[in-house]
Amino acid sequence: MTSTASFLGYRRPDGRVGVRNHVLVVPTVICSAVVAERIAASIAPVGTALPHLAGCGQLGPDLTLTHETLAAYCRHPNVGAVVVVALGCEQVVAERLADDARRAGKDAHIVAIQNEGGTLRATSKGIEIARELAASVSRIDRSWCPASSLIVSVKCGGSDYTSGLASNPAVGRVADRVVSLGGSVVLGEIAEIMGAEHVLADRASTPEAAAQLLRVVNRVEAEAIALGLDIRGTQPSPGNIRGGLTTIEEKSLGATHKAGERTRLEDVVGYAAPIKKRGLTVMDTPGLDVESVTGMVGGGAQAVLFTTGLGTPTGNPIAPVIKITGNARTARSMADNIDVDVSGIMVETESLDRAADRLLDELLGVCSGRPTAAERLGHREFAIHRRNPTI
């Protein structure tokens, strides 16, 4: 047990701790996404954009979800400063996003394409601002921070039989350790709790947390049933089925191992909503990898432990995503996407505890600045969950 586990992080003015120090370029709406990406590219890799498909043509809950997800990224401790790129006539309000960043103690500026007079002028003004911000955030130094300041997202994607037997239990032991060190763990993907909800509900610290979990799982199941279809085909996916997973119950029981064995379920929160409790939080996200990671990072996770059996490249614009596989063939065939190979667990050449030791070391190393495979490859996938049609 690493009782003094710590890492070199960025202490932010609002008291939160970051593991990256990005200048975030946020388009308010799909219409300003290309300008935002060009501005971010001019200061890569410090600059990172959040291209998305929303920001207009949305009503009620979806508009709120878009706004709150973008605002959560503006406040995120992995972000040092913010440029908001607006069009000018959209629903998402640039000033509100900039205010959120400023309230978290970050420098924030707005460039509006209609105000500046087109793509070229807006891009050029944005690049000028972004270069100044990149210079100013580069003067923020890392300092030693305790593991208790971490919120770690646990996630699986492209699962096969090795996920439930090796990589998920190994990540689960890291989750247990992070929580015992005073940190937080967040698990998403409600559809992949279906069939394993009893395991988590039994570990709820309060009857309310257990009831919240069952409510949200029942809602997702009712939504699937209302479509009049068998969810087999997406849960498990065709690749999961080829890999030997037969039903969603089987996938869920294996997936839930990621959340540890000793962690207590403390809270259930909405998509991209702030994770406030130490211990285990479940977030209401869909099973689609990128939407799920986007939500958990929005909730405050600084890093993601992502297990995969078949191999998958998913990253995130502001948070390091660490890829872990228990499949020896995937470790070889997709070596450029994999950070940690725990396939020794499958052939009993490595114990779960030893694999968890290596994973915790990797997590703390990455949180201190070591780039992940996804970061080295430029994987910065971002997708905001939406529940309703575009109007």
Residue nearer to another protein on the CB measure, 65 or 191: 191
Number of residues that bind another protein (CB under 8 A): 35
Dihedral sign, CA of 325, 333, 382, 24? Answer: positive
Q: Which residue of 88, 182, 239, 244 would you call a contact of another protein, by CB under 8 A?
A: 244
Q: Check residue 199 for interaction with another protein (CB under 8 A).
A: yes
User: How far apart are the C-alpha atoms of 130 and 107, rounded to whole Å?
Assistant: 11
User: How far apart are the C-alpha atoms of 152 and 317, rounded to whole Å?
Assistant: 16
The DSSP-derived string for 79-143 is EEEEEEEE-SSSSS-HHHHHHHHHHTT-EEEEEEHHHHTSHHHHHHHHHHHHHHHHHHHTTPPPE
Token code pair at residue 175: 């989750």
207-226 binders of another protein (CB under 8 A): 221, 224-226
Window of 49-57, 206-214, 261-269, 346-354 that interacts with another protein by CB under 8 A: 346-354
Q: Check residue 288 for interaction with another protein (CB under 8 A).
A: no
Q: Which residue of 32, 58, 235, 337 would you call a contact of another protein, by CB under 8 A?
A: 235
Q: Check residue 280 for interaction with another protein (CB under 8 A).
A: no
Shortest reach from residue 198's CB to another protein, in Å = 7
Window of 107-115, 136-144, 242-250, 366-374 that interacts with another protein by CB under 8 A: 242-250
Other CB atoms within a 10 A radius of the CB of residue 211 amount to 13
Residue 51 one-letter amino acid:
P
Residue nearer to another protein on the CB measure, 97 or 345: 345
Our CA angle for 70, 62, 36, nearest 5°, is 35
Q: How buried is residue 132: exposed, middle or buried, by Cβ count under 10 Å (0-12/13-18/19+)?
A: middle
Residue nearer to another protein on the CB measure, 112 or 166: 166
SS3 at position 190 = helix
HSE (side-chain half, CA atoms, 13 Å) at 76: 37
Q: Which residue of 56, 247, 328, 368 would you call a contact of another protein, by CB under 8 A?
A: 247
Q: Which residue of 8, 140, 241, 288 would you call a contact of another protein, by CB under 8 A?
A: 241
Residue 260 one-letter amino acid:
G
> What is the bridge-based pairing of β-strands 151-156 and 184-187?
parallel
Residue nearer to another protein on the CB measure, 100 or 197: 197
Bridge partners of 84?
26, 110
Window of 88-96, 248-256, 294-302, 368-376 that interacts with another protein by CB under 8 A: 248-256
Q: Which residue of 51, 243, 260, 287 would you call a contact of another protein, by CB under 8 A?
A: 243
Give the sheet arrangement for strand 143-146, strand by strand: 17-18, 6-11, 143-146
Q: Which residue of 96, 131, 232, 264 would you call a contact of another protein, by CB under 8 A?
A: 232
Residue nearer to another protein on the CB measure, 173 or 380: 173
287 DSSP 8-state letter: S
Residue nearer to another protein on the CB measure, 139 or 227: 227
Shortest reach from residue 390's CB to another protein, in Å = 19
Tell me, residue by residue from 179 to 198, as one string, x for binding to another protein by CB under 8 A and - for no binding: ------------x--xxx-x
Shortest reach from residue 241's CB to another protein, in Å = 6
User: How far apart are the C-alpha atoms of 332 and 64, rounded to whole Å?
Assistant: 43
Residue nearer to another protein on the CB measure, 51 or 164: 164
Q: Check residue 389 for interaction with another protein (CB under 8 A).
A: no
Q: Check residue 230 for interaction with another protein (CB under 8 A).
A: yes
Tell me, residue by residue from 133 to 172, as one string, x for binding to another protein by CB under 8 A and - for no binding: ---------------------------xxx-xx-------
167 DSSP 8-state letter: I
- Backbone φ and ψ for 189, nearest 5 degrees, come out as 60, 75
CB 74 within 8 A of CB 100: yes
Which chain residues interact with another protein by CB under 8 A? 160-162, 164-165, 191, 194-196, 198-199, 221, 224-232, 235, 241, 243-244, 246-250, 253-254, 346-348
